[in-house]
Amino acid sequence: MSGRKRVAKKNGTPVIDPYLPGSGNFGYRVSRYELELEYKVAINRLAGAATITAVTLAELATFTLDLSDALAVSKVTVNGRRPSQFRTQAGKLHVTLAERLPAGAAMTIAVRYGGTPRPIRSHWGEVGFEELTEGALVAGQPNGAASWFPCDDHPSAKASFRVQISTESNYFAIANGKPLSRRARAGMTTWSYEQAEPTSTYLVTLQIGAYSRQRISKNGVEIFAVLPDRLRTNFDTDFGRQSQMMKLFVKLFGPYPLASGYTVVVTDDDLEIPLEAQGISIFGANHCDGQRNSERLIAHELAHQWFGNSVTVQRWRHIWLHEGFACYAEWLWSEHCGERSADEHARHYHQKLLNSAQDLVLADPGPRDMFDDRVYKRGALTLHALRKQIGDADFFALLKDWTSRHRHGSVVTDDFTDLAARYSDDSLRALWAAWLYSPKVPPLDGWM
């Protein structure tokens, strides 16, 4: 599903998602992005050529793409022809076609652009392309993709990607997907990657630094590490149980959803929080201290490959389907390791929620609270309450069905609650009413 059938409005203007009214675009659907980029680390300068393959959903005379005002556009063509006009304004590239395109028409958009990339300011801080001390990273969630390429930046707008990035040869560059080639010439190295599986724009990333790459697991799903050599010893301690994590999550959630394996990047800088991308998780040097203090975060980011990256929300109000599931995966890993059980985690965080403000509706927390820790913990508690009601066999069968049925797709809360009903002999309406749609935190036991 495209997520565009029901359109919200803000001040009378149609928007795709009221949580991010400025993101996303109407009139077409993108199937593929091909990016040819050059980035000069020393001067933070990005030059790009984007080729976007799309189909029109309605007759089009004009259309827009999301693109940061920090990047200037020098040329646009649509199906090989120059448009009658293009301009950038308020985070959008506006294109006026020389001739209208009918609904259902193929559309190849080519954009040349460049500038000094910077993060996009949002309710949740700065997101997108960010300079490091020596290199760069992209932290795209939820609307940061436009900080480095023109796109339809909305989670339900999934496409395949090819990313070619040229940078100074003393740096390692990684993007999503399978590595295709690596060519060095005149002090620059060009790296090419192919992400075949449908991917949301916010989950596309670029990581550049003084890194080296190593395969750390050959059995089952391939796992790779990309990090500075100075952190290698700490990494072996902090991330040493990833193979066991992968094995557990494949058992509980179903097959790993990507053919290209899983890569962990550790930057040479500290990061406030780790972040997920399609097939990649990014951690800071502070998460790699040799003390194994970040293992729950390692489990959390790995779980996002199923919950959030493969199965992705249509609109951000449903974000508990990402964060609640990834948080519950932390508890499942702890339980598997013989440490605190999921039930013990649930009781601990239930008490914390009772002591917090009870003004958040999990199924629609509002844009400012969509990354609030209460969404994570209450989402995990909702799953634990469901597990207790339907039993382990049906609960884990449901999770596998969920990840299989909606693999590389887009979902809303009703999709999950409707599917869960098939795994319960009793009505789950009271459970959903209490945990998803009421701000009051229900009792963990005997709430029905």
Residues designated catalytic: 301, 376
Report which secondary-structure segment, H or E, holds 250. Answer: helix 242-253
β-pairing, 280-283 vs 312-313, is unpaired
d(CA 30, CA 66): 13
Query: Is 323 marked as a binding-site residue?
Result: yes
> Look-up: residue for tokens 């780790």?
274
Helix, strand, or coil (residue 85) = strand
Please name the helix (run of DSSP H) or strand (run of DSSP E) that holds residue 212, with its range, or none: strand 212-217
User: What is d(CA 408, CA 309) in angstroms, rounded to the nearest whole number?
Assistant: 8
Contact (CB, 8 A) for 385 and 446: no
Torsion 241-242-243-244 (CA) sign = positive
Known binding residue 194? Answer is: no
Structural element, H or E, at residue 235: helix 232-238
Contacts 24+ apart (CB under 8 A), 288-293: 288/227, 288/231, 288/234, 288/235, 288/238, 288/239, 289/234, 289/238, 290/233, 290/234, 290/237, 290/238, 291/237, 291/238, 292/237, 292/238, 293/238
Q: Return the H-helix or E-strand segment holding 346.
A: helix 342-354
As a whole number of angstroms, the distance between CA 63 and CA 47 comes to 23
Which residues, at least 6 apart from 224, have a Cβ–Cβ distance to it below 8 Å? 213, 214, 215, 216, 261, 262, 263, 264
The β-bridge partners of 56 are 28
Residue 36 is encoded by which pair of tokens? 């040819």
Residue 406 marked ligand-binding: no
Could you tell me if residue 287 is left (phi over 0), alpha (psi between -120 and 50 degrees) or otherwise beta?
alpha
CA gap 323, 307 in Å, rounded:
8
Give the full edge-to-edge strand order of the sheet including 60-66. Answer: 60-66, 92-101, 85-89
Give the CA distances from residue 197 to residues 161, 163, 224, 278, 300, in Å, rounded to whole numbers and listed in that order. 8, 14, 19, 9, 21
Cα separation, 448 vs 433, whole angstroms: 10
DSSP state of 225: E
**Residue 58 one-letter amino acid:** A
Q: Which residues are annotated as a binding site?
A: 300, 304, 323
Q: Which residues are annotated as a binding site for Zn(2+)?
A: 300, 304, 323
